[in-house]
């Protein structure tokens, strides 16, 4: 089992970052390089507790399907999605948010296990861990850019209303 831990600082309120993190349309945008699309379950909007989404994406030259369910949620502090069906033996992604004075710390704890026993563990170490880390970092970069742009626009509106 591999666990990837990332932290990203975003100059936006935790509520906004939390909602963008579970936005199917933004996820599709952040995963454009893999032609990722939601094909079953909830296919647009914000995922809620208990909901599922099935993603179809191209990784390593092959199309894969991954079905995840939101298994826990406490807005705007955390939510967890867990793989129900897909290419991993197991996968869990915890999304954690900490509101601070000038923004939000977003933490990802992404745990996964490849199938095929020892061969799968070798693949995890050889390239899958670095591939998934890069995939998550790209997602976070886009989420950060969108959140900060929205927060800036909101701040601009707030300052004109005062």
**Position 155 confidence tier, pLDDT thresholds 50, 70, 90:** low
Instruction: Give the span between the Cα atoms of 146 and 153, in whole angstroms.
Output: 11
Q: Are 33 and 57 in contact (CB under 8 A)?
A: no
What is the pTM assigned to this prediction? 0.91
Q: Where are the beta strands (DSSP E) in the chain?
A: 2-10, 37-41, 52-59, 62-74, 78-85, 90-100, 103-113
16-67 pLDDT, tens digit per residue, is 999 999 999 999 999 888 889 999 999 999 999 999 999 999 988 889 999 9
Cβ-proximal residues to 162 (8 Å cutoff; 6+ apart), any chain: none
Say if residues 126 and 29 touch (Cβ distance below 8 Å).
no
Instruction: Examine the pLDDT at 159 and tell me if it is beyond 50.
Output: no
Does residue 154 surpass a pLDDT of 80? no
């Amino acid at each position: 089992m591999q666990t990837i831990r990332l932290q990203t600082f975003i100059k936006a309120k935790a509520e906004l970052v939390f909602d963008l993190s579970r936005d199917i349309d933004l996820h599709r945008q952040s995963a454009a390089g893999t032609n990722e699309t939601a094909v079953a379950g909830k296919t647009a909007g914000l995922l809620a507790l208990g909901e599922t989404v099935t993603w179809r994406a191209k990784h390593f030259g092959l199309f894969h399907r991954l079905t995840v369910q939101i298994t826990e949620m406490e807005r705007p502090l955390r939510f967890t999605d867990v793989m129900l069906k897909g290419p991993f033996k197991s996968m869990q992604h915890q999304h954690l948010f900490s509101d601070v004075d000038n923004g939000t710390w977003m933490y990802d704890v992404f745990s996964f296990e490849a199938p095929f026993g020892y061969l799968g563990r070798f693949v995890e170490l050889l390239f899958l861990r670095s591939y998934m880390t890069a995939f998550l970092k790209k997602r976070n970069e886009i989420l950060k850019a969108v959140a900060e742009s929205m927060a800036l626009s909101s701040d601009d509106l707030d300052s004109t209303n005062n």
